Structure formats: structure tokens, C-alpha cells
A and B are shown apart, each in its own frame.
Chain A
Amino acid sequence: MGMWLFLFTELILFGGLFIVYAVYRYTHPDAFHLAAAELNTFVGTVNTLILLTSSLTVAMSITAVQEGKKGFALALLGMTIMMGLAFLVNKYFEWGHKFEVGIYPGAPELLAQPQGVILYFGLYFVMTGLHALHVIIGLAVLLYVFEAVRRGSINAGSYVRLESGALYWHLVDIIWIFLFPLFYLLH
């Protein structure tokens, strides 16, 4: 219950940014399409599939814990953590490439572009950056949960912490479900 209330506050946090996005997209439609062409749809799609699959494994780990299958639960949680890391590695290379071609906040090449393009990339870095921060926090939570399952303090009789951690991870997935089409699929 408390976890859900926290998730509602996250909705307000990202929701506010989505409204900013909607308004700027409405006022600069052409620049947004132009700027979106810079993003690599393939990398975005791969990252979407990674996060969806990591949501699957963390959801399945709850069933495994409920059934008392500790080893299977740990394997599923381990896979979830590996996929979260893979997502961040992809993001690292994606952002790294942007920086190389002169697309980062305050870059001279970027500031020479139309205002709509500057706004698009400003939102891109803030929203995907904030999302990546949530992935990092989610990974820390999952590592803690993994350790608690391993020690046996999370077990078939008591697994609220696992459920809460999983809820947070699914929220990170849902935010990405919206970020992906809004930034990558604007052709």
C-alpha cells in the first residue's frame, strides 16, 4: 500500500515532464520530428525488450518465492539485475555517441540548431536521465532483495519487500513504455 502511494508521487514527477513534452511538441512539431531522427530506433527497441523481459523475470521471482523455490527465485532476480545493467550499458553508449557528435546540453553544435531541436534534446536528456537514475535505484533495491532472499529473510511466508521492489521495477518499465514511442518513434 505504502509503495503504491510512493508510485503515485512518481507519476506526478514524470507526469509533469510529460506535460512539458506535450506542450513543446505541440508548439515545435517539425523540429521535434527532425531531432527524433537523430535517435537510434534499434537501440531504443532493444532497450524496450530488455526492460519488458526484466519485468517478466522479477514478476516470476515472486511466484518462485511463494512456491519456496529459492534457487529459481535467485536465478530470476539475478537475470533481472543483469538486464537492468545491460539497459544502462546501452544507454551509456547511446549517450556517449550523442556527446561525440556534439549533442549534449549546452553544446555549441546543438545551440546552433533551431529552438525546437534544443528543447527536444533538453527533454530527452532530462527524461531519459531521470529514468536511468530510477533504473540505478531499482538495481540497488533488487540487489538488496536478492541478498535478503539468499539469506532467507525473504521467504514463502514473508515477501513484502520483494513485492515492493518488484513494483518499483515495473514502474520503471512503465515509464520507459511511454518514453520509447515519444522520443524514438517520431518519424
Chain B
Amino acid sequence: MSHTDQSAHAQHVVSYSRYVVIWFGLVALTALTVALAGIELGRWVIITALVIASIKSLLVLNIFMHLRFEDRVFRLFTVVAFVTFLIFIVMTFFDYAFH
């Protein structure tokens, strides 16, 4: 994949069954997050909800959006974008905590 040009990545064919398996995973995680919402978890509610949503997003990004089959530099770009966003959130809350 890495030794050829840009068109090489475009030739990557993902099988229907692989997509369907990922879809089952996404539906199962949705069922899990809805089920957990009915339980009193206190401050863990938001944490479990965000962890499950993040796993779902990673499945969509990696398989449905073919990120897993892109080259390494490209994948690094997306990681940097998400980490930057996370830093914004963390810094916002540090500001609140020490006001």
C-alpha cells in the first residue's frame, strides 16, 4: 500500500461482511449506552457515555471512513486534530477548576 501512488489506497476494497460486522458492533454499543443510561451511575454516566461514543466513532472512522487503510502520515493528521480538540476541552475545565 505504501510503495505505490495515491490511487493505490483507492483500490482498497472492504468486503460487505466486514461492514455488516462493524454495523452490528455499533448497534450493540448503542443498546449498551441506552441500557446504562437507565442505571444510576452518578458521575460515571457522562464518562461511560463518552467512552462508548468514542469507541463508536473510532469504528466509523477506521472502517466506514477507511482511515485504517490510509497511510501513516495521513492517520497522524487526524489524531493531531482530535488531540488538539481534547486539549481545548481539558484546558477549558482547568480554567474552571482554578477560577
Residues on A facing B (Cβ under 8 Å): 1, 4, 8, 11-12, 15, 18-19, 22-23, 25-26, 41, 45, 48-49, 52-53, 55-56, 59-60, 62-63, 66-67, 159-160, 163, 166-167, 170, 173-174, 177-178, 180-182, 184-187
Residues of chain A within 8 A (CB-CB) of B36 are: 185
B60's partner among A60, A163, A177, A184 (CB-CB below 8 A) is A177
Question: Considering only CB atoms, which chain A residue lies closest to B91 in the complex?
Answer: A19
Bound CA span A1–B77, Å: 11
Residues on B facing A (Cβ under 8 Å): 10-11, 13-16, 19-20, 22-23, 26-27, 30, 33-34, 36-38, 45-46, 49-50, 52-53, 56-57, 60-61, 63-66, 74, 77-78, 81-82, 85, 88-89, 92-93, 96
Q: Is the CB of A63 within 8 A of B16?
A: yes
Bound CA span A15–B90, Å: 13
Q: Is the CB of A63 within 8 A of B13?
A: yes
A-B contact list, 18 entries, CB within 8 Å: A8-B78, A23-B92, A25-B46, A26-B93, A45-B34, A48-B30, A52-B26, A53-B23, A55-B64, A56-B22, A63-B13, A163-B66, A166-B64, A167-B65, A170-B60, A173-B60, A174-B57, A181-B49
Q: Is the CB of A60 within 8 A of B61?
A: no
Minimum distance in angstroms from B64 CB to a CB of chain A: 4
The total of Cβ contacts below 8 Å across the A-B interface reads: 102
A4's partner among B49, B57, B78 (CB-CB below 8 A) is B78
Q: Is the CB of B65 within 8 A of A170?
A: yes
Given A63-B14, A174-B57, output 5 extra A-B contacts at Cβ < 8 Å: A56-B23, A173-B60, A185-B37, A186-B37, A187-B38
Residues of chain B within 8 A (CB-CB) of A11 are: 81-82, 85
Residues of chain A within 8 A (CB-CB) of B10 are: 159-160, 163
Bound CA span A185–B33, Å: 8
Bound CA span A15–B97, Å: 20
